[in-house]
Structure 1
Amino acid sequence: MMNYQKIQDTYVVRLDRGEEIMTKLTELAEEEGIRLATVYGLGAVTDVEMGFYDVTKKQYYANTFSEDYEVLHLNGNVTTKDGAPYLHVHLTIADSAGRTFGGHLNKATIAVTGEIFVRVLEGTVARKMDETIGINLMEFVE
């Protein structure tokens, strides 16, 4: 079960074996009313799906990884889209031979533990679809 504690402007989050990162971070943002934040962390994962965006085709391509991997770096942000939390997270992982893989995180299940920090920022940054590029770009709200 996800455990977290707020220390000053940062939520220190521990995810346990079997929890899915994007689902739990979205739950945290919804429960705590987080509208703008940076996200970073490490841990160990399995059942990973990461995407690579092809701007010419305006399409994400997913790569899946089903073994256990060390999280070398998880980083991203929380903004909003249509008033709801919107997570944009990237992940770099390494296998038992030290080979690394990375991309736009779609999902990853904790294999051992996840140690994630969510630093809340004041203000709001929304997302809006940019038809030219084909993704939800940040839109600054006054």
Structure 2
Amino acid sequence: MRAQPLRLCPGDDLRSAIEQAFQGQGAAFVLQAIGSLSVARLRFAGRPQADEMTGDIEILTLAGSVSPAGAHLHMTIADAEGRVVGGHVAPGCIVRTTVELLAAVLPGHVFSREMDPATGYPELVIAGARCAP
């Protein structure tokens, strides 16, 4: 495992910038990130579409997996009134001032996503591993 810090800049699309930063590196996990957004797009549990929030938004936590198949990221945010929500990161989250992120790059591991009939979603597949019982 190799630690990889990353800073995203104002105007960056959070999800695509993370995917681009780790492209070609195989498998990685975002361990944590903090920062701010001007636009947050989160898909809440059980909903098919992302909700959009705008304004001064703080990232409290950000974690997930990154692979050539894309990213699966979850984030908790707080608005300017201190209200906290969290969910699945959708494209279109725009960095306001900065995002400071730490990832663990996992050389020798290969991640992909395959449709899982049990969940109905494309789920993480780790080459050479199976779902834990």
Q: Shorter-normalised TM-score: what interval? A: 0.7 to 0.9
> Where do residues 77-88 of structure 1 align in structure 2 (5 Å cutoff)?
77-79=65-67, 84-88=68-72
Matched, 1:18 2:11: yes
Task: Give the match for residue 96 of structure 1.
Answer: 80
Query: Residues 99-139 of structure 1: CA distance to partner in whole angstroms, max 9, x if unpaired?
Result: 10110000311111110112101311221012342211122
Unaligned runs of 5+ in 2: 129-133
Matched, 1:47 2:39: yes
Unaligned runs of 5+ in 1: 1-7
Task: Quote the offset at 1:97 in angstroms.
Answer: 1.4
Q: % of aligned pairs identical?
A: 27
Return the alpha-carbon distance in structure 2 between the equivalents of residues 115 and 53 of structure 1: 26
Return the alpha-carbon distance in structure 1 between the equivalents of residues 14 and 117 of structure 2: 28
Which of 69, 73, 76 is 2:64 aligned to? Answer: 76
Task: Quote the offset at 1:52 in angstroms.
Answer: 2.1
Task: Quote the offset at 1:93 in angstroms.
Answer: 0.6
Task: Quote the offset at 1:42 in angstroms.
Answer: 0.6
Matched, 1:36 2:27: yes
Task: Give the match for residue 3 of structure 1.
Answer: none
Secondary structure at 1:26's aligned position in 2?
helix
Structure with more of its chain in strand, by fraction = 1
Q: Which amino acid aligns with 1:28?
A: A
**Which TM-score applies when normalising by structure 1?**
0.80
Secondary structure at 1:24's aligned position in 2?
helix
Return the alpha-carbon distance in structure 1 between the equivalents of residues 101 and 126 of structure 2: 26
